[in-house]
Structure 1
Amino acid sequence: MPATTLDLRDLPPAQRHQEVHAAFEALDDGETLEIVNDHDPRPLYLEFRADVEAFDAENYECTEEQPGKYVAKLPKRR
């Protein structure tokens, strides 16, 4: 179950990655950040996989719940 849900759809695009990184850093080990976005967050996934050591890329999930609503789960390693 996600510890934190962050809806990015109302944030300006230039602020989104910064907000996600801050929320992810605030998680405890083993928790998950769930983000809601208006487009596929694949670039964010690639950024996290390359740059964030605590990111558990193997357990990342993303679903398109409806057009314009993507929900991604970014787990933090234990």
Structure 2
Amino acid sequence: MMTDFASATERVLDVREIPPQQRHEIIPRLFDNLQPGQGMQIIVDHDPRPLRYFFESVHGDDCQWNYLEQGPEVWRVELRRAA
């Protein structure tokens, strides 16, 4: 699903219908495949703070995290690999 927020090459992943355990396997794997400067967006039904803490601990400054939408029903986050 592409949105107005995404560039033509930026993947948008709506994980609201994916079980939480699968989300935590899929999202890091997709991020690991990003090239420097590339980004992806995730759409979730809650604030994904635990995921943010995971990325900060594993990737540090290599992962740039930007909230594009912050609830109350939908959160949209852009993850970008540092250039």
Cα separation, 2, equivalents of 1:52 and 1:16:
18
RMSD: 1.5
Residue type of the alignment partner of 2:18: L
Please give the TM-score of this superposition, normalised by the length of structure 2. 0.78
- Which runs of structure 1 show a deviation greater than 2 angstroms over 4 or more consecutive aligned residues? none
SS at match of 1:61: strand
Residue type of the alignment partner of 1:75: R
Residue type of the alignment partner of 1:55: C
2:43 pairs, out of 17, 23, 36, with 36
1:69 pairs, out of 64, 70, 74, with 74
Instruction: Report which structure shows greater RCO (CA 8 Å, sep ≥6).
Output: 1
What runs of 5+ residues in structure 1 fail to find an aligned partner?
A: none
Please give the TM-score of this superposition, normalised by the length of structure 1. 0.83
Q: Which residue of 2 aligns with 1:16?
A: 23
What runs of 5+ residues in structure 2 fail to find an aligned partner?
A: 1-5
The count of residues paired between Structure 1 and Structure 2 equals: 74
Residue type of the alignment partner of 1:33: M
